[in-house]
């Protein structure tokens, strides 16, 4: 899905919504001027300019804005995070940024060549990426005491970068984003002269007007549009997908019959969804051993996601949002230790969660809030987080097995997800709507990792 190649000002990019086209175009120009490229992630997120604006602001702030960590450390931490999911796309981009910030070439040989201070971060990286419930005070203490110690502000900055890139790996794989034109492994297509050209966007900076009020069109190579490719994919051979009409009827029924449940019943329904999710496999086979150029950034590759419901330690209990929430606890703590980042993260979470155009497939005037909440809460359920006031029975009403499998894979095993998996799920939905589902995977996962990390930091500070 990395090959968006339609001119952003052409009719139909957002079903004729000129306001969205203009907003997206302006953001694309800004992103190009900041990064000297219009990367594929930005292009795919361009379906949702309100979200893209917050995403670009946040990413720019944590990598280039004020903060306690040196710039080369920031990009190397991004490489370490992306390595956990073998995401060569992000690793390659962050290697370039690392060198542009004056990073030492020798560090790119792998973890054996980096300062011990950075190396000490690796346990937290590994745990947050796959089993964040295992994080405890001793991990924070190990970083902040003794030689090569970190300040708490540095720890929180590093955690924000780690969680950002772990989650971004989920988005890259679940949307099928391809390598950039200047990356090894970039896709090519036959050119009219019999040669090959890369499938990435080609932008001539001389044609870009720096004025934000009247940006010129970004010239884009004329290629076969990926937008229609999902129509060519076969449906799941095992289970027919629930159609949008049925889904809308179920949402309507749930709205009309707001069921009252006792706390005991709500707990039972959460545990039921949790145990069912543990029976779901991941799409695709286990990936082969990572290429050598990725392996050098990975320690303990056998440490991967295990279902929270099957955890071995009975002392690790479900994370109840009522006890430690983003709104009441995490937001203020992260803002206190890393100035202003809480505001950016909060805007980004809320935009992804609340985003709606009141459409579903070809239908309009649809209240999608129940569907969106089911997706968000299911993602966090996979990571052992429970919202006490939510009836988890709605998840089984609104999310069918194939969608749950896709979401679980995108969140917990993103390296196994391919463009074919993207094509086979939510087949009646528009691409923009499927991208929105993947944005919720990104944000709900990031928020879950941050909740575990910030609760642990808070325990370390107060005990």
Helices (H) and strands (E) in the chain, counts: 19, 6
- Tell me how far apart the alpha carbons of residues 331 and 339 are, in angstroms, rounded to a whole number: 11
Provide the 8-state DSSP code for 257. Answer: S
Question: Which of 87, 169, 381, 412 is the catalytic position?
Answer: 87
Using DSSP's 3-state secondary structure scheme, residue 222 falls into coil
* CB contact at 8 A, 81 and 165: yes
- Tell me how far apart the alpha carbons of residues 204 and 196 are, in angstroms, rounded to a whole number: 19
Residue 103 main-chain phi, psi, to 5 deg: -65, 150
Q: Which residues pair with 196 in a beta bridge?
A: 190
Q: Which residues pair with 360 in a beta bridge?
A: 363
Query: In terms of Cα–Cα distance, which of 335, 379, 333 is closest to 353?
Result: 379
- Tell me how far apart the alpha carbons of residues 74 and 98 are, in angstroms, rounded to a whole number: 8
Strands (DSSP E) contained in 191-311 are 196-198
CA 363 vs CA 12, 132, 245, 426, 429: distances in Å: 17, 39, 9, 14, 10
How many Å from the N-terminal Cα to the C-terminal Cα in the chain? 47
Provide the 8-state DSSP code for 286. Answer: P
- DSSP H helices, 3-109, are 18-35, 40-45, 49-64, 71-83, 88-100
Query: In terms of Cα–Cα distance, which of 112, 94, 114, 118 is closest to 104?
Result: 114
* CB contact at 8 A, 43 and 225: no
The reply to whether 87 belongs to the active site is yes
Residue 364 main-chain phi, psi, to 5 deg: -120, 170
User: Which residues participate in catalysis according to the annotation?
Assistant: 87
């Amino acid at each position: 899905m990395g090959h968006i190649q339609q001119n952003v000002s052409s009719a139909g990019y957002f079903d004729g919504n000129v306001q969205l086209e203009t907003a997206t175009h302006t953001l694309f120009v800004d992103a190009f001027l900041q990064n000297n490229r219009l990367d594929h992630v930005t292009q795919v997120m361009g379906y949702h300019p309100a979200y893209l604006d917050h995403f670009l602001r946040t990413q720019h702030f944590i990598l280039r804005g004020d903060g306690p960590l040196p710039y080369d450390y920031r990009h190397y931490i991004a490489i370490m995070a992306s390595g956990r999911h073998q995401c060569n796309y992000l690793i390659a981009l962050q290697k370039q940024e690392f060198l542009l910030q004056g990073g030492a070439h020798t560090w790119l040989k792998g973890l054996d060549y980096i300062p011990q201070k950075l190396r000490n971060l690796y346990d937290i990286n590994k745990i947050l990426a796959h089993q964040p419930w295992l994080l405890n005070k001793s991990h924070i203490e190990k970083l902040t005491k003794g030689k090569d110690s970190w300040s708490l502000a540095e720890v929180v900055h590093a955690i924000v970068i780690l969680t950002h890139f772990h989650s971004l790996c989920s988005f890259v794989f679940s949307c099928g984003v391809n390598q950039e034109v200047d990356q090894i492994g970039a896709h090519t297509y036959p050119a009219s002269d019999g040669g090959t050209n890369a499938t990435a966007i080609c932008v001539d900076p001389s044609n870009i007007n720096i004025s934000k009020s009247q940006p010129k069109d970004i010239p884009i190579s004329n290629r076969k549009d990926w937008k229609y490719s999902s129509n060519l994919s076969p449906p799941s051979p095992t289970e027919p997908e629930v159609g949008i009409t049925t889904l809308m009827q179920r949402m309507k029924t749930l709205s009309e019959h707001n069921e009252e449940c006792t706390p005991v019943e709500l707990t039972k329904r959460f545990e039921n969804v949790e145990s069912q999710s543990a029976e779901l496999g991941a799409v695709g086979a286990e990936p082969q051993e990572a290429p050598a150029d990725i392996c050098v950034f990975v320690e303990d590759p056998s440490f991967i996601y295990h279902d929270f419901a099957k955890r071995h330690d009975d002392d690790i209990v479900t994370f109840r949002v009522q006890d430690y929430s983003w709104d009441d606890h995490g937001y203020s703590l992260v803002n206190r230790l890393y100035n202003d980042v809480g505001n950016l993260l909060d805007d980004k979470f809320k935009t992804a969660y609340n985003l709606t155009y009141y459409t579903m497939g070809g239908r309009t005037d649809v209240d999608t809030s129940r569907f969106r909440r089911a997706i968000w809460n299911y993602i966090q359920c996979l990571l052992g987080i429970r919202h006490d006031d939510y009836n988890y029975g709605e998840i089984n009403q609104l999310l069918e097995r194939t969608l749950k499998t896709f979401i679980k894979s995108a969140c917990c095993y993103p390296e196994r997800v391919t463009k074919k998996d993207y094509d086979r799920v939510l087949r009646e939905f528009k691409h923009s709507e499927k991208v929105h589902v993947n944005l919720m995977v990104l944000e709900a996962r990031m928020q879950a990792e941050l909740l575990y990390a910030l609760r642990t930091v808070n325990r370390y500070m107060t005990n």
